[in-house]
Structure 1
């Protein structure tokens, strides 16, 4: 399986796979908004080569310290549980660490994301934008990050 950076030719396929994975939720429009945002990091928008899956990390902050917000991550429903999501996660985390990023933050299932080294963000003193997210708000630290509130790239505020 080949994981690579997204190209302009992948955008429609990314929309399709994201809409299918999230049942036409707000995630595909969010990705388009993120592409136009200053928090967009092109080398952290990755696809499985057949565009059966996509993951993106964008610039966020813990207090004033740069960090990454991971998501959305999507895999075509007919190809879920085939390792595409895991391959995308390993690739984007490796790319983030290679870039010298300090932390990756996400909202998701602790049962799933703990396999990638994520722990509850509260263990690091990192608080979510919405306190109700606490049990699902997670962080993977590559370096120490001071405690503080996390904020995603601006388009997340429109959800």
Structure 2
């Protein structure tokens, strides 16, 4: 009986194929310069962005990993918090607008918690190491009925 079990074990070991997963990783290390805290102040209102570079798994084909910008934001007025997004819930999918043209300009999706189910597109451009230009616009698409085009955060900031 022992030889049969030994033969079965050897057969299973040699006939089993190791499953290999070829996962692609798209590294974008230049995005790291966008990570950190960014702040815009107008009178007694402070708009703060916290951007992070993360390695995100995307289910395309066998799946890929890609470096993207994610983050959160807060708005304070007179020292009181008006809006505070949860971690990585306010800003997502940040990547270059066109890295062949400029590695100082990214775009990402912005979820406005001050407006119900409202999102926008942001173009974020570095002007120097600690200054950036922020431009928020409505996402494109068909809208039926009344649509609130405003945002609860600044649409332009430097």
TM-score (norm 1): 0.28
Q: Which has the higher contact order (CA 8 A, sep 6+)?
A: 1
Greater helix proportion: 1
Greater strand proportion: 2
TM-score (norm 2): 0.28
